[in-house]
Amino acid sequence: MAKRTRKSSGRGERDLTVKVKSARGRKLSSTLWLQRQLNDPYVKRAKADGYRGRAAYKILELDDRFRFLVPGARVVDLGAAPGGWSQVAVSRVNALGEKSGKPVGRVLGIDLQEIEPIPGAELHRLDFLETDADAQVKAWLGGLADVVMSDMAAASSGHKQTDHLRIVALCEAAAQFAFDVLEEGGTFVAKVLAGGAEGSLQTLLKRRFESVANVKPPASRSDSSEKFVVARGFRGRDGSDGLEDATDGDVPG
């Protein structure tokens, strides 16, 4: 049961926070998660704006800064469920053709599970780790992608270092997939967890992209170790060692 605490002011009472009482059989961690959700302004905004989750604002904020979801872009959203990132991409790349005079883009969302339909997005069940997944995606797109993005996270084990290693491995696999489907000059965006084991990923990306930035957008919770890598200017499938030409670093959100 949720209980609101109120504070009186000269203009009457106003809501401050929502506190959740512990229920029999429910873990404390679940209670705290529910309380955080009820008090999260991004959760409330997502409901008001029609997004499927607060994660939509992370890609919005990243795109506001780096401008990779441009009208006409072809986007692949890995691990797209529940669909918040795809919703943002549909609007920004003009997948519905609603921006008169602007190129019409495409959004392809793939996931292991079914995704509720999103107007303007093409959604498919597919394991991107399968051997022929890249060929299937290119067939659906009718060519190469301009953006590959991923908000995927491995299932939590409850052990911080193990979870960090798992998500870095998942991000490296997503990067390898991007190398197979990206157009030259394209962009790769993915979630990682800060923890010290992502050095090999950074080296890999710096060899293949002109610039690599590590960002924690405002919508990312302050108590979360997640950050996002934004790699721009894909050098092509042949790659390049040009480490001296690449830029890197943690960029404030």
- The reply to whether 151 sits in an annotated binding site is yes
DSSP code for 233: E
CA distance 217 to 100: 30
3 state SS of 207: helix
Rounded distance between C-alpha atoms, residue 117 and residue 99, angstroms: 21
Is 111 annotated as belonging to a binding site? yes
Question: What is the CA angle 128-130-132, rounded to 5?
Answer: 100
Residue 85 annotated in ligand binding: yes
User: What residues are labeled active site?
Assistant: 191
Between CA 191 and CA 173 the distance in angstroms is: 12
Q: Under 8 Å CB-to-CB from 171, ≥6 apart: which residues? A: 150, 152, 190, 191, 192, 198, 201, 229
Cα 191 to its chain centre, rounded Å, is 6
CA 117 – CA 121 distance, rounded (Å) = 8
Which residues sit in the known binding site for S-adenosyl-L-methionine? 83, 85, 111, 127, 151
